[in-house]
A and B are shown apart, each in its own frame.
Chain A
Amino acid sequence: MNLKLSPKLSQKIAYTALAIATMIVILPVLTVIIIIIKNGWSALSWEFLTTMPKDGMRAGGILPAILGTLAIVSCAICVTLPVGVFAAIYLNEYAKDNLLTRIIKLAIVNLAGVPSVVYGLFGLGIFVMMMGFGVSIIAGALTLSIMELPVIITTARGALNSVPYSFREASWSLGVSKWQTIRRVVLPNALPGIMTGAILSISRISGETAPILFTAAAFYVPHLPQSMFDQVMALPYHLYIISTQIPNMPKNIIFGTALVLLLMVLSMSLFAIVARLYFRKKRKW
């Protein structure tokens, strides 16, 4: 049997296969989004977003879950952004090519690979138990901030790295110190990149469930969060609860909750992606 195809024909077959594979990868993403929008749309209303749940969460709104997620995520980003950017500055501007730098890079890579549920365990052990914060906004936020650190460091470092070296030299030659150069020249130029990275991070941690499972999230809290040391409801955890633990849950509320979470996460990601494309085009160097 002669299976030798002409190069032209095999190229055609291969290209078709690659295109089909791409379709197989892309289509489910769109399907998932469409399914959620189609089924969840009817549940969306101003009331759904701004009232408390009722009847064992089978009716009413999801306000406490939305506020809880916002509280945890905003605390987390406030901690992780400055630390991450400083770490990126160290790696990009100060670090020499030595063993320590190699170990730092390895640590970042590995931190990025630690499973989210293991962060949850760590947060439970350190923040909830050892430091005595209890299951609270602050414990969940700190857990998420460690988890997001490698992402922030990597994107911020990329942004710093894309500022041309000659900018720094020009500043140094005017007698400006290293830190002042970073602050006045490098950071402003890297800011768009750092911010898009930060937005992507916020989007990612808004949807995380496993790390807050035992550090911040509560099944049901009858009031809105009062302080940093309160347990809160959180949107992703709420979705998990109502879709698996509560019998006879009306489907449209589950889909509605999923839709709110998805809209929150996707709109931020989309904004960051578009902003990045825009800044890349606008860049003058």
Chain B
Amino acid sequence: MNGKIIDYIIEKIIFLCGIIAIIFVVLIFGFLLKEGFAFFKEYGVVNFVFGKYWYPSSDPASYGVLALIIGSLLVTVGAAIIAVPLGIMTALFIAELAPKGIKDILKSIVELMAAIPSVVLGFVGMVTLVPLVRSILDIPTGLTAFSGSIVLAFMAMPTIVSISEDAIRSVPWQYKEGAYALGATKWQTIRRVVLKAAMPGIIAAVMLGIGRVIGETMAVLMVTGNAAAIPDSIFDPVRTLTATIAAEMGETVKGGLHYKALFSIGLVLFLITFSINFIADLFLNKNKKNC
């Protein structure tokens, strides 16, 4: 076979691999839609979205997703409140203040943090954090949305820190020199110039971190208590969208209504993370244009 033909075939294969990401996104979405629609037809979208009770094993079973959405939101908001300020401050420290050698070490630790499996974090949270929360707050169980928020905050941290740090580092040095020339101190420059210029990137970092938190499964399953009821406060047990899928899929009849209901939850999750990532990507592109 001559070289031209080999080149031609290989380039076709390369193209096919190039578009494979699109194929998978469409496949995943299509699959969730298919099962989801089958469920909506049988159970009704309104009953699903606004139903307050998730009792898949009672008779008749009810599949209201509202309590689960609120559970996910509560844990996520809690995690964001902890992770966002700490994450941005850490990114500033690493990008602007830390000396060269320490910077590499800190960045490596942040990366290691991302590598710790969520099931390990869930386990450690279960044996250390959960009893701690229970005794400090004097509540009946430490398996609460609050515990989940703390664990998830640390899972969101690597994403928030590393992407924010990138954004801060990519602020052109001319901006800073301009501020120094006007007599600004280093901190004034960081706060008024660097932070502002890096803002789109930081917003993207926060959104991606939140996206990761919403999709997190195992750690949440292990520390939030899994009560599928609308919680009164952040110190109640909750059950998230992801944990519901993970906990219940094993006991469903494959192809049954419960099985399809769990796919519908998957569809909800997919739509949430898709929009978050889509918007975060817009911000990231804006950041590139800014600098």
Contacts and interface: CB of A to CB of B under 8 A. Distances in A.
B222 A269 contact: no
B117 A208 contact: yes
A119 B17 CA distance: 19
Interface in B11-55: 11, 13-22, 24-25, 27-28, 31-32, 35
B242 interface: yes
Contacts of B19: 90, 100, 104
A94 B11 contact: yes
Contact of A177 (B3, B25, B108, B255): B3
Interface residues of A, number: 90
Contacts of A251: 127
Interface stretch (B73-81, B133-141, B173-181, B273-281): B273-281
Given A107-B22, A111-B25, A270-B112, A265 B185 contact: no
Interface stretch (A10-18, A45-53, A55-63): A10-18
A113 B180 CA distance: 39
Contacts of A33: 116
B121 A209 contact: no
A152 to B, nearest CB: 11
Contact of A114 (B122, B215, B218): B215
A266 B112 contact: yes
B111 A113 contact: no
B154 interface: yes
A179 to B, nearest CB: 5
Interface stretch (A21-29, A163-171, A221-229): A21-29
Contacts of B216: 115
Contacts of B32: 118, 121-122
Q: Is the interface of B mostly helix, strand, loop or mixed?
A: helix
Given A11-B187, A87-B20, A207-B118, A177 B15 contact: no
A86 B165 CA distance: 29
Interface string B93-131: 110011000001010111111011111111110111000
B22 A113 contact: no
Nearest to A8: B185
A7 B188 contact: yes
Given A114-B273, A177-B7, A239-B119, A108 B215 contact: no
A207 B106 contact: no
Nearest to B242: A117
Contacts of B85: 21
Interface stretch (B59-67, B228-236, B245-253): B245-253
A26 B281 contact: no
B18 A90 contact: yes
Interface string B264-279: 0010011001101110
B161 interface: yes
B291 interface: no
B222 A115 contact: no
Nearest to B150: A28
A46 B176 CA distance: 57
A203 interface: yes
A9 B71 CA distance: 43
B246 A210 contact: yes
Contacts of B273: 110, 113-115, 118
Given A18-B92, A207-B118, A149 B277 contact: no
B157 A25 contact: yes
Given A113-B211, A236-B117, A22 B94 contact: yes
Contacts of B7: 177-180
A207 B115 contact: yes
A236 B119 CA distance: 6
Contact of B266 (A112, A117, A203, A266): A117
Interface of B: 3-4, 6-7, 10-11, 13-22, 24-25, 27-28, 31-32, 35, 85-87, 89-90, 92-94, 97-98, 104, 106, 108-113, 115-124, 126-128, 154, 157, 161, 185-188, 190-191, 208, 211-212, 214-218, 222, 242, 245-246, 249-250, 254-255, 262-263, 266, 269-270, 273-274, 276-278, 280-281
Given A83-B20, A209-B218, 14 more contacts: A11-B186, A11-B188, A17-B89, A22-B90, A32-B124, A86-B13, A90-B18, A107-B22, A113-B215, A122-B31, A179-B11, A210-B246, A270-B108, A273-B108
6 contacts: A11-B185, A19-B97, A87-B14, A124-B249, A236-B218, A265-B116
